[in-house]
A and B are shown apart, each in its own frame.
Chain A
Amino acid sequence: MKHYLLFAAGKDRPGIVAAISRILYRHGCNMADSTMTRIASEFAMLLIFQAPAGWRAERIGQELQRCEKRLGLFTGIKPLASSESRALKPKGRAHIISVYGADRPGIVYRVSRCLASKRINITHVSTHRTETSRAAGYVMLLEVELPSLRMAAGLNKSLGRLASGMGLHVSMRPVETAKL
């Protein structure tokens, strides 16, 4: 069984999920993990599916193209090695980082560069720009994996320095999980 990654994005309207999942269903493909969301007025989906033995991606190419035309979508398919379709083992404890303040260029870049320089993995990011008549604000929320408490302390310090230099507010806390 071979796995593929499929993405599709376009102006939000009813029927996008139905159209894509219909193609997969008709070809005997099983949808595995997916994330689908609306961002501003666009809808984006990113999913992994499992194809039957002997199946080739070109088979749905035409149907996807028709779908692109009809719904104004932008799509792509990428084959995955079997190891790539499995969920990764966590590289530490999940933490949430909140960064916010007046909008200015470079917030996302400088925060993510700080994480990358410490080889810290980002697992989720969500950003929002807000605007009032007086000023624009920026909110960046991240979920990261931190292998050790020492790393958490070091990161907290670096982010604190970075944030105060940019007039931003930053805070970090571990994600609490209740297993019931």
Chain B
Amino acid sequence: MAVRHIRLFPDFVLQTPCRPIVRIGPKTSDLLRDLKHTLQASHGVGLAAPQIGISLQAAVINVAKDPRKRFLGGSNHGLAVVINPQIVEARGLERPREGCLSVPDLLANVRRYAWVRVRALNAEGRQWILEVEGFEALAFQHEIDHLQGRLFLDRVANLSTDLYRRQDLQR
């Protein structure tokens, strides 16, 4: 069991787009195992390879045990492994308040889709298409952003929870 050290902002690896994995082999299995173990130890709902210092497109997500799943609802794929994931379709709007294991101090109201269809490879290298919704959809979008070198800070929806004057709205 290898629990890796979680890279923290402003580690440059977190703002660098990751390379796709072109050959799935023993190294990939090692990476996925480390991701799973580190996720389990961190009590998070998702972990992307750059968060353990590996700039490759792989992430693990598991919302099954998170209490927020209960009131945000949605799908539940259990422990999901995605390699080279891409969002191919998206719908709906959520404005959750998000944080990140790699940015311990900050939270922000972000803009996310409520439902996404994701195309990815699984641990065996076979293509699979998942439809995720609700809390799980938020987790997928967050981890896929990590693989593109983006943090939730790039999804900030508004700078405060202030009221705005009507005339400040866009037509």
Contact = CB atoms under 8 A, between A and B. Distances in A.
Contact of B156 (A93, A96, A174): A96
A87 B10 contact: no
Interface in A66-103: 87, 89-90, 93-94, 96, 98, 100-103
A124 B170 contact: no
B158 A175 contact: yes
A169 B170 contact: no
A137 B159 contact: no
Interface string B89-130: 000010000000001111010010000000000000000000
Nearest to A124: B159
Interface string A9-52: 00000000000000000000000000100000000000000000
B165 to A, nearest CB: 5
Contacts of B167: 87, 89-90
B2 interface: no
B150 to A, nearest CB: 7
Contact of A169 (B15, B156, B159): B15
A179 B169 contact: yes
A93 B170 contact: yes
Interface stretch (A111-119, A126-134, A154-162): A126-134
Contacts of A128: 105-106
B42 to A, nearest CB: 15
Contacts of B168: 87, 90, 94
28 contacts: A87-B165, A87-B167, A87-B168, A90-B168, A94-B168, A96-B156, A96-B159, A102-B10, A102-B12, A103-B10, A124-B160, A125-B159, A130-B9, A130-B103, A132-B104, A136-B10, A137-B9, A138-B10, A141-B108, A167-B12, A169-B150, A171-B150, A175-B157, A175-B170, A176-B93, A176-B111, A176-B157, A178-B93
